[in-house]
A = this chain, B = another copy of it.
């Protein structure tokens, strides 16, 4: 079980866009984080498809958040990039083989399926309880406001 590495990039971009006051291109975000621009574009497209960021084309175009960061949860970003499908897929093993359970007994999810689903929901709830604004608040609380100001200034500086 391995999560897509692009999730980390997407979260960092969401955090950085918190400090931006105008659209930022994918190339600039990639340069800032020193990652592959082409691949980062893929993650940003996924976020755009999910409605987390708005993309504007043309010169001075780029990505910007569509909602205030306090209304974007970490789970939103994770599901946008990594997909909303739960990690565990029940294949209804109990309905197969010589000791297969009767079809009507399989109306309710099996105990294993329930346990995995509950864990998945706990994971999602934890990610849902943290917003991008919370991340920004934690960073400023630990390292000062200069971090976000530095990002904003770097965005405003000419390439």
What residues of chain A have their CB less than 8 Å away from a CB belonging to chain B? 1-5, 7-9, 11-12, 15, 31-35, 74, 82-83, 85, 87-91, 93-94, 96-99, 101, 105, 108, 110-112, 114-116, 118-120, 122-127, 130, 134-135, 138-139, 142-143, 147, 150-151, 154
Contacts and interface: CB of A to CB of B under 8 A. Distances in A.
B135 A115 contact: yes
A12 B115 contact: no
With a 10 A CB-CB cut-off, give which of A33, A83, A147, A154 has the most chain B CB atoms.
Answer: A33
9 contacts: A3-B87, A5-B89, A5-B91, A8-B89, A8-B90, A8-B112, A31-B97, A111-B142, A122-B123
Contacts of A147: 101
Q: How many copies does the complex hold?
A: 2
Given A2-B87, A111-B134, A112-B135, 19 more contacts: A1-B2, A2-B89, A3-B87, A5-B89, A7-B88, A8-B89, A31-B98, A32-B99, A33-B97, A35-B93, A35-B96, A74-B112, A74-B119, A99-B151, A111-B139, A115-B135, A120-B123, A122-B125, A123-B123
A151 to B, nearest CB: 6
B101 A143 contact: yes
B130 A115 contact: yes
A96 B34 contact: yes
B12 A112 contact: yes
Given A1-B87, A94-B12, A108 B34 contact: no
